[in-house]
């Protein structure tokens, strides 16, 4: 059965390495923070100027002057630091953030990502996404494998205006975990529990590389 | 010391003319100059170019100035919380320049720091790169981006002193410090205006040299866009 | 959290190899990493390229490393307090790249901020401009300057916590914050190392993300070059 | 009689306007601070990261962590702020400092300044001087009219490596006050007490412009 959002977040949480600095995008990526194992210590960066995002506040702790990049109220933690947007993106652009997890509307088989604009329909702006994808060493995309209308979001080439080129390293969808190979192509690594390779093939429009047995994801 | 203290927002923005270019601090509704925005709406100044990361929401922040059609052009990175904005944009009534957030922040810093242009990787290979100079450094591709400056920069701080020194609170800092450096005239509204000498020199985020006018604001609403609390 | 705390300067610099490029914080003898400099002299590592605003004095600061001929090249803005330096330079034993101080500071910031190059007016029309790209913006001439990065950045702070967050004191801040961002490995020596959570997030000058190693230094001499007091 | 250093500093202090931000170079410029009238409030910037330089400390106040750009121990004042060298030069390069006063070895009649290097002899480096002269709106030079060997330091063209071009606006020497005209040339404004126009002519190698009576400086 395809994963729900929580499932995708849980699977991505397994990718998170101890002692790293991570930027989580809005939506599923933000949920990832809830599933990082206790023994894995990471520091979450919010591009609006906070390093060390704490949990959501208690009702009485809510502070309008302390929000994350999704405009949600948050808290600080011991060891947190605050800074300006220029310093925040200096941090991002300078390659100091180890991992970026973000959502996407489309990913191409060479790692291009589109997630900021649907011409004539949706104009919200790119926010920090273009800076993040142009700068991060390691980028994981969290998304549904297919659009609401059933079209594959893993394509040979993106059809929407792109956010960045050749930058996505890994994709976790409701159906599968895939690496984007440096030479191009989606390499299938894991299947969602109960999802067949055949289903993933059907849902993937770009070049899918399948080698040997494809194990099922292990989720707690 | 030349007196930088003005009585209120009306006085601070009194000489902002039609068609001025403004920078307005804040990220979402966090750290926005609420008093000055209200005064700009009241004054009815028109044809403004507003440089601000976001455009407020329909009934607060810069959204208030969009409703009254005072804004000719927005220079922002993300405007997704504002239906009126999207309507004006799609209908062509509003000019919009969408800029990657880090590029926006750095262009404003550059404007204050006397750096007319710099190279950044953000947007390479995308439509943001159209018409821009592209250059390779160490095997990676970069775009040339130019500085941004404004006739008036309007920022919001937590504490300020009469010499114009500012301290921000939490993530309400965001775009405010860079904008303070990039205005020909910088106006700071603060929650608490203190005497010179009350702020620790080592805690000051924006040195007074950047601020030409300062006042203590009133009735801060500090609206929250996504009030999110711990699930019990 | 990966442990960033090391026991002392010897441990902090243990893996710095010959011919490494180092950044060393400080302005004059103010805010210099005394412990690490002593450890570098003790270790005897050679062929270093040192990026530092000044080169110390004959018997303190980087001057100690010049005496032992550990430095192949200095990248600085002002080296006027050091006779041995001047001797080595004039005799050709030492390579020196003299850079305007603001350009040096900005090149280091750019190195940490992922900006490979930027335009600055400093040095236009002078020998600093030789071989550099020149460009006009709004009728003024600018030089293209590139980023600076280092294998190791060695900085000195007043207080630091075990997560690598740093607070500087007085004018001992100077080049330290930018250098902290521009080292592949950044080593911070601090006068007081405190537990995580003891520093106010709003007072931190250098976020811990930039610091890979930290230790509490000992026996700070803090020599004064121009002890100047009020004339009674 | 030619002015001494104190005299030059006193005369320059008269140029200082209320409510301005000023960077003072090492040497005579530093002395200027002592002669700014009580009713003129200015803020002194030190390029190593201090705005609002206070007086030299009492013996027991001396703090090695608080120095000016000349490496002298100083104090802070109410309203002072501290910052990094990058922020300091952002301030300078961005044109936020209203006036720069600095020393020179040579000034040319089109406003070029040389003050950082004597090839083969003195190699100290330019420090912040190149940034200051390339950025400041208003630049006043404090110097002796002639070198120790008696050569004029006000030249048609600088002979030494220059620090910046077409930037000096005014010069105060031991003999005279002169404007550097936008179209080129040293316009004589004032004579030092007891110094004749003839002496100034002799000591000036670049184009000297003398119009009408040249008054004596008024010094307190």
| A123 has pLDDT over 80 | no
The token duo for B87 is: 């309507």
CATH 3.40.1080.10 fits C9-116+147-216, yes or no: yes
pLDDT tier at A122 (50, 70, 90 boundaries)? confident
| C1 has pLDDT over 70 | no
Domain ranges of chain B: 9-116+147-216
Largest CA distance in chain A: 54
Q: What number is the average pLDDT over the span C195-209?
A: 98
| D158 has pLDDT over 90 | yes
Residues of chain C found within 8 Å of residue A50, distances taken between Cβ atoms: 201
Q: Do B171 and A50 touch (CB under 8 A)?
A: yes
The C-alpha atoms of residue B59 and residue B76 are separated, in whole angstroms, by 18
Q: What number is the average pLDDT over the span B181-209?
A: 98
Site of tokens 């000992």: C218
Strand partners, D50: D46, D82
Option in B77, B106, B224 nearest A86 (CB): B106
The Cα of C63 is separated from the nearest Cα of chain A by a number of Å equal to: 31
Q: Do B114 and D45 touch (CB under 8 A)?
A: no
What is the reported pLDDT for C81?
75
Q: Do C100 and D126 touch (CB under 8 A)?
A: yes
| C232 has pLDDT over 70 | no
Q: At what angle do helices A85-93 and B101-113 cross, to 10 degrees?
A: 120
Length of chain A counted residue by residue:
220
Option in A48, A64, A123 nearest B222 (CB): A64
Are the C-beta atoms of C66 and C13 separated by less than 8 Å? no
What's the helix, strand, coil split of chain B in %, to 5?
Answer: 25, 30, 45
The C-alpha atoms of residue C30 and residue D66 are separated, in whole angstroms, by 8
Site of tokens 């702790």: A61
What value does the mean pLDDT of chain C take? 96
Q: Do D58 and C175 touch (CB under 8 A)?
A: no
Q: Do C228 and D72 touch (CB under 8 A)?
A: yes
Q: What number is the average pLDDT over the span B141-166?
A: 98
The token duo for A172 is: 């976790």
B:D CB pairs within 8 Å: 66
Are the C-beta atoms of A20 and B190 separated by less than 8 Å? no
B145: part of which helix (H) or strand (E)?
A: strand B140-146
| C2 has pLDDT over 80 | no
The token duo for B205 is: 């985020």
**Which member of D15, D38, D47, D58 is catalytic?**
D47
Interchain touch D–C (≥3 Cβ pairs closer than 8 Å): yes
The C-alpha atoms of residue C62 and residue D142 are separated, in whole angstroms, by 32
The C-alpha atoms of residue C114 and residue C102 are separated, in whole angstroms, by 18
Q: Do D79 and B197 touch (CB under 8 A)?
A: yes
**Which member of A15, A38, A47, A87 is catalytic?**
A47
Write the pLDDT tens digit of every residue in C162-177. 999 999 999 999 999 9
Window 45-84 of D: residues touching B by CB (8 A cutoff) are 45, 50-52, 76-83
DSSP category for residue A164: B
Percent of chain D with pLDDT over 90: 93
Interface residue C158 vs chain D (CB under 8 A): yes
Q: Among residues A131, A60, A40, A127, which one has the least CA distance to residue A92?
A: A131
Interface test with C, best of D100, D126, D163 (most C CBs within 10 A): D126
Option in D50, D70, D130 nearest C100 (CB): D130
The Cα of B220 is separated from the nearest Cα of chain D by a number of Å equal to: 26
Buried b (16+ CB within 10 A) or exposed e, A126-151: bbbbbbbbbbbebbbbbbbbbeeeee
The Cα of B44 is separated from the nearest Cα of chain D by a number of Å equal to: 31
Phi, psi at B89, each rounded to 5°: -70, -50
Structural domains in chain A plus CATH codes = 5-209 (3.40.1080.10)
Q: Do A162 and B176 touch (CB under 8 A)?
A: no
Is D60 an active-site residue?
no
Percent of chain A with pLDDT over 90: 93
The C-alpha atoms of residue D75 and residue D58 are separated, in whole angstroms, by 9
Does the reported pTM lie above 0.80?
A: yes
Task: Write the DSSP assignment of D26-58 as a string of letters.
Answer: TTHHHHHGGGS-TT---EEEETTTEEEE-PPPP
The token duo for C221 is: 């001499």
Q: What number is the average pLDDT over the span C151-158?
A: 98
Write the pLDDT tens digit of every residue in B98-117. 999 999 999 999 999 999 99
| D105 has pLDDT over 80 | yes
What value does the mean pLDDT of chain B take? 96
What is the reported pLDDT for C89?
83
Pairing assessment for the beta strands A76-82 and A50-53 based on DSSP bridges: antiparallel
């Amino acid at each position: 059965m395809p994963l729900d959002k929580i499932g995708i977040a849980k699977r991505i949480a397994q990718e998170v390495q101890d002692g790293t600095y991570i930027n989580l995008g809005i939506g599923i990526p933000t949920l990832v923070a809830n599933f990082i194992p206790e023994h894995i210590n990471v520091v979450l960066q919010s591009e609006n100027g906070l390093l060390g995002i704490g949990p959501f506040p208690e009702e009485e702790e809510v502070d309008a002057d302390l929000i994350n990049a999704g405009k949600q109220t948050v808290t600080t933690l011991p060891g947190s630091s605050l800074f300006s947007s220029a310093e925040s993106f200096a941090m991002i652009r300078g390659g100091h953030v180890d991992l970026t997890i973000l959502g996407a509307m489309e990913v191409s088989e060479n790692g291009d990502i589109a997630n900021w604009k649907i011409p004539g329909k949706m104009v919200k702006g790119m926010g920090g996404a273009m800076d993040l994808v142009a700068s991060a060493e390691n980028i994981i995309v969290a998304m549904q494998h297919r659009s609401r209308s059933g079209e594959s979001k893993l394509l040979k080439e993106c059809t929407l205006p792109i956010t960045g080129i050749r930058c996505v390293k890994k994709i976790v969808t409701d159906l599968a975990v895939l690496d984007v190979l440096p030479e191009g192509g989606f390499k299938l690594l894991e299947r969602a529990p109960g999802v067949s390779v055949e289903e993933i093939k059907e849902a993937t429009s770009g070049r899918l590389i399948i080698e040997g047995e494809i194990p099922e994801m292990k989720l707690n | 010391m030349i007196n930088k203290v003005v009585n209120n927002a009306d006085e601070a923005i009194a000489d902002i003319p039609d068609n001025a270019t403004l920078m307005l601090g804040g990220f979402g509704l966090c750290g926005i100059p609420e008093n000055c925005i209200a005064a700009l709406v009241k004054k009815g100044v028109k044809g403004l170019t507003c440089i601000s990361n976001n455009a407020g929401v329909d009934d607060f922040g810069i959204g208030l100035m969009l409703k009254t059609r005072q804004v000719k052009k927005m220079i922002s990175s993300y405007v997704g919380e504002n239906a009126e904005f999207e309507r004006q944009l799609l209908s062509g009534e509003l000019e919009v320049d969408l800029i990657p957030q880090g590029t926006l922040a750095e262009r404003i810093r550059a404007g204050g720091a006397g750096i007319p242009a710099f190279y950044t990787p953000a947007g390479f290979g995308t439509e943001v790169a159209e018409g821009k100079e592209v250059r390779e450094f160490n095997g990676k591709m970069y775009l040339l981006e130019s500085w941004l400056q404004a006739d008036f920069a309007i920022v919001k701080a937590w504490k300020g002193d009469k010499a114009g020194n500012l301290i921000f609170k939490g993530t309400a800092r965001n775009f405010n410090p860079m904008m303070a450096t990039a205005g020909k005239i910088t106006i700071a509204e603060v929650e608490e205006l203190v005497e010179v000498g009350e702020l620790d020199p080592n805690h000051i985020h924006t040195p007074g040299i950047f601020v030409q006018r300062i006042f203590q604001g009133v009735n801060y609403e500090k609206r929250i866009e996504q009030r999110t609390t711990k699930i019990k």
